[in-house]
Structure 1
Amino acid sequence: MKKDYRNYLSLLLVALLLTGCSQTAKVSEDIPLVRTQTISLGANNQNPGYSGEVRGRYEAALSFQTGGKIIQRQVEAGTHVKAGDVLLTIDPKDIQQTVNLTAAQVASADSQLHLAQSNLARYEKLYEQGAISRAQLDQYQNAYEVAQAAVNQASAQYAQGNNQLNYSQLTADSDGVIAAINVEAGQVVSAGQTVLTLVKDGTREIEINIPENKLEELKNASHIQVTFWALPGITSEGKVREIAPMADKVTRTYKARISLVNPPAGLQLGMTATVNISQTGSQSIFIPLAALYQTGDMPNVWVVTDNQVALRPVKVGAFGDNAVEILDGLHEGDVIVCAGVQKLHEGQKVRL
C-alpha cells in the first residue's frame, strides 16, 4: 500500500514539473510585435521641416528725433494704423519754451535790422551830400549786414525749434501693424531710442533658422512648401529671398527669409509655419526620432534581419519635426524598428 502511495506521489511530481516546463516554454516563445520602416532613398523620404514665423517684408523700428517724457500712448500691440496717425507723444512744454525764446530772438533781430536799415539810408544821403566820409558809410553798411545775418540766424533757430516741437509726436510713416511696443507713458526716452516696431502692409514672409550644413541644400532647393499650424490643409509655395551672411553667435544657425508666392487668406503676423525643402536628386535618409537608441555618446538603430534585431551605430545630421537625417550607417532596403526601441535587446526575435 505504501509502495502504491509513493508511486502516486512520484507521478504527481513529474506531472507538475512537466506543466511548469510547458509554461516556461510558452513564456520564452512570446515574440514581440514591432513597428518597422524600410529605408529607401530619394522621393520616399520626406525632408524634415524647419519651423519658422510669419514676419513682414518691411519692418521699421520707430524712434523719436528728440528726447523727453512720454505723456500719451495712442496705440496697442496689434493696432492697425494709417500713414500720419499719431502713435506716441512726448511732453512738449520745454520744447515750446524753446520755440517761444527763439521767436523773441527773431523779433529782436528784426527790430535791429530795421534800425540798421534806417541808419544806412540816412548816412547814404549824408555821403551823397559830402557830409561824411566813405569809411563812415561803410561802418553803417556793415552794421546793416550784421543785423541781416542776425535775423537769418534767429529765424533758423526758430525753425529748428518748431521742428523739435513737431518731433514731440511720433507718427506712422506708412500703413501697417504695430508689432511691438517698448515703452510706456511716463517713461523718459532719448532721441533715436527704439520705442515701436511697425510692420508695413504688403508682403509677408517666413523667417527660419538653418544649420550651417544645410545652407547649400537651401540655396539649391528645387521646391519649397510652407504649411501653417493655424491653417490646416493649406500649403503655400515659397522662394528663398535672403540668407544672413553670418551665423548667430549663440545658436550657430543662419537666418533665412522665405517669401510666399501665393500667401493664403487669413495669414497673420506671428503665425507658426513649417518650411519643407526638397531638392532634385536628393538621396538623403530620414527616420523618425523614436527610432534612435542612444548608448553613451553613440546613436544607434535596431536593424531587423531574418526576424532578429541587431544594434547598428549611425551618424546623424539635421534634425527636423520628429525626424532626423542619417548621414551614414543605413542603406536602401534596411528594415529598422521605429517604435519601442528601449524594450529590445541584441539578437531578440521580433514579429513584423
Structure 2
Amino acid sequence: MKFQCLFIVMILLAVNSLTGCSKEEQVIEEIRSVKTFTVQELSTGQVRKFSGIVQAAESSALSFEVGGQVEQVLVDIGDRVQKEQILAVLDKEPYELLLKSAEAELVRARANLTNKKADYEREEAIFKEGAGSQKRLDQAKFGYREAGAGVRVATSKLNLALRDLRKTTLFSPYDGSIGKRMIEPHMEVAAGQRLFEIDAEGDMEVEVNIPETVVNQITIGSETAIVLTVQPDQKIAGTVSSIGTMAETANAFPVKVSLPEPPADIQSGMTAEVTFPLQKKNGQPGYLLPPQAFQVGKESGSAYVFIYDAASSTVKKTPIRMSGAKNNQAVVVDGLAAGDIVVVAGLGFLSDGMQVRLMEQPAPVKPEAFDLK
C-alpha cells in the first residue's frame, strides 16, 4: 500500500513539472515578434535641393568717402577686427591744406562782417540825426547781412574740410573679419570705391537662388536641412528667413536661410546644399505610411498605429489623422514624427502596452527627414 502511494505521488510531481514547463513555454510564445517600419519620408514627396553660399547675416562693403592716395593698409584677408579699429589711411596732406584754406577764408569773412557791421551802425546813427539818407542806410544794412551770410558759408566750408580730413581714415563698423581686400598702399582710390568686404561676427545664413517655378512653394519660417560640401556627413538645421520679390539672374529669386546654431568652424564663402520642403497651396505636410501599418478608425480620416518603444520593448496604440494618399501610401498629417518605429504586420493581434520583440532592426532615419508640423 505504501509503495502504491509513493508511486502516485511521483506521478503527480512529474505531471506538475510538465505543466509548469508548458506554461513557461506558453509565456515565451506570447512575446510576439513584430515587423517594423521607421517613419522617415515627407508626405508631400516634394523636396528640392539647391546649392548656395554661406555668408554672414551682416556683411558690408567698405570704402573711403573721399578720394586720394593710400598711405597705409593695416589689415589683410582673414584678419579679425574690432569695432572702430583702423583699417586703412589716405594721404592727409591735401585735406590738411584744404582745412587751412577754409580756416583762412573764415577769418577773412569774420573780418568783413566786423567792417560791415561798423558801416551799418555808422549809417544808422547818421540817419537818426537826420543827416543821412534811407538809401545809404539800406545799402549798409544789406552789406552787413551779406557779410553775416559769408561767415556762415565759410564756417560750413571749414566743417566740411574737417569732415573730409577725418574721412581719410577708414574704421571697422563692427566686430568681424576681413573677407576681401582690394586695396594696396600708394594706389589712387576714388570716393565710394569698394576696398574691403567685412563679415560681422555672429549669425550666419545661406543664400540660394530659387527658380521661378519653385519659389512660390517655399514659405518663410519653413525648416530646411543644410549640408556643407566640406562636411557631407553633418546636417545643419536652418530656417527660411527671407524670400526676394524680384528675380535676378536666369529668373531666379534670392532666398536666405538662417542658421540658428551654426557650427563653430563654418566660414563665409563655403558652399552648401539646402533641402527645401515644397508646399502646395492646398497641401498639408506629414509622413507617408504603408497601408499595412495602420487600422482605419470609425471617423473619416482617423486611424491608429502601434508605435514601438525601444526602452520598454512594448507597443503603444496611437491615433493618427490622415489626409489623402500618395504613391499607394497614406499621408499622415498628425500623430507621427520622423523616427517613430511603427509595426507593419499583425496589428490585429496587438494591444496597447503589449510586450514584443523586433523581427529585424528598423531602418535608420534619412538625413533629409525632418518634421514640418
The two structures share one fold, judged by TM-score above 0.5: yes
Equivalent residue, structure 2, for 1:189: 189
- Structure 1 stretch 210-219 or stretch 126-135: which is displaced more? 210-219
Native 8 Å contact 1:56 1:205 kept in 2: yes
Structure 2 residue runs without a partner (length 5+): 1-39, 279-284, 289-326, 329-373
CA distance in 1, matches of 2:220, 2:248: 22
The 3-state SS of whatever aligns with 2:195 is: strand
Q: For the residues of structure 2 that align with 1:63 and 1:276, how far apart are their CA atoms? A: 36
Deviation at 1:172, TM superposition (A): 2.1
CA apart distance, 1:204: 0.8
What do residues 102-149 of structure 1 show as CA deviations (whole Å, max 9, x unaligned)? 111111111111122223333333333333233322222222112111
Distance 1:101 1:270, change over 3 A: same
Counterpart amino acid of 2:148? Q
Q: For residues 184 and 274 of structure 2, what CA distance do their matches in structure 1 show?
A: 36
Does the 8 Å CA contact 2:220/2:242 hold for their aligned counterparts? no
Shift of residue 84 of structure 1? 1.9
Structure 1 counterpart of 2:188, one-letter code = V
Determine whether 1:255 maps to 2:224: no
- Contact kept? 2:220, 2:240, Cα under 8 Å: no
Show the counterpart of 1:23: none
Residue matched to 2:140: 140
**Cα deviation, residue 185, structure 1:** 1.9
Tell me the equivalent position of 2:173: 173
The alpha-carbon distance between structure 1 residues 232 and 120, as it changes in their structure 2 partners (threshold 3 A), is: same
The alpha carbon displacement at 1:160 in A equals 1.3
The SS at the match of 1:164 is: helix
Distance (whole Å) between structure 2 residues aligned to residue 221 and residue 104 of structure 1: 61
SS of 1:115 mapped into structure 2: helix
Q: Are 1:242 and 2:239 an aligned pair?
A: no
Whether the aligned pair in 1 keeps the contact of 2:222 and 2:239 (CA below 8 Å) is: no
Count of equivalent residues: 245
Partner of 2:118 in structure 1?
118
1:52 aligns with 2:57: no
On the 8 A contact 1:234/1:264 being kept in 2, the answer is no
Q: Which residue of 1 aligns with 2:89?
A: 89
Identity %: 28
Per the alignment, residue 272 of structure 2 pairs with: 273
Deviation per CA, 1:22-56, whole angstroms, max 9, x where unpaired? xxxxxxxxxxxxxxxxxxx9559896643333211
Deviation, 1:222, is: 5.7
Aligned to 1:3: none
Instruction: Evaluate the alpha carbon distance shift between residue 221 and residue 103 of structure 1 in structure 2; reply closer, same or farther with a 3 A threshold.
Output: closer
Map residues 1-352 of structure 1 onto 2, 5 A cutoff.
42=41, 49-219=49-219, 223-230=223-230, 234-249=234-249, 253-278=252-277, 280=285
Distance in 2, Cα, partners of 1:253 & 1:149: 55
Measured against aligned partners, the alpha-carbon deviations of 1:135-194 in whole angstroms (never above 9, x if no partner) come to: 322222222112111111111111111111112122222222221122222222222222
SS at 2:265's partner residue?
A: coil
- From the superposition, tell whether residues 116 and 46 of structure 1 become closer, same or farther in structure 2 (CA, over 3 Å): closer
Tell me, yes or no, if the aligned pair for 2:221 and 2:241 is still in contact at 8 Å: no
SS of 2:62's partner is: strand
> Could you tell me which amino acid in structure 2 is paired with residue 175 of structure 1?
D
Cα shift at 1:234: 4.1
User: How far 1:265 sits from its partner (Å)?
Assistant: 3.1
**C-alpha root-mean-square deviation of aligned residues, in Å?**
3.2
Letter in 1 for 2:78: G
State whether residues 203 and 260 of structure 2, in contact with CA within 8 Å, keep that contact through their aligned partners in structure 1.
no
> Which residue matches 1:335?
none
Structure-2 change in CA distance of 1:137 and 1:222 (3 Å): closer
TM-score by structure 1 length?
0.60
Give the AA of the match of 1:108.
Answer: R
Could you say if the C-alpha distance between residues 92 and 132 of structure 1 is closer, same or farther in structure 2, counting changes exceeding 3 Å? same
List alignment gaps of at least 5 residues for structure 1: 1-40, 284-330, 333-352
Letter in 2 for 1:98: L
CA distance in 2, matches of 1:213, 1:201: 35
- Structure 1 residue 91: Cα displacement: 1.7
CA contact (8 A) 1:209 1:255 kept: yes
Q: Is the 8 A contact 1:221 1:278 kept in 2?
A: no
**Rounded Cα–Cα distance in structure 1 between residues aligned with 2:64 and 2:220:** 43
- With over 3 angstroms needed to count, the CA separation of the structure-2 counterparts of 1:277 and 1:186, relative to structure 1, is same
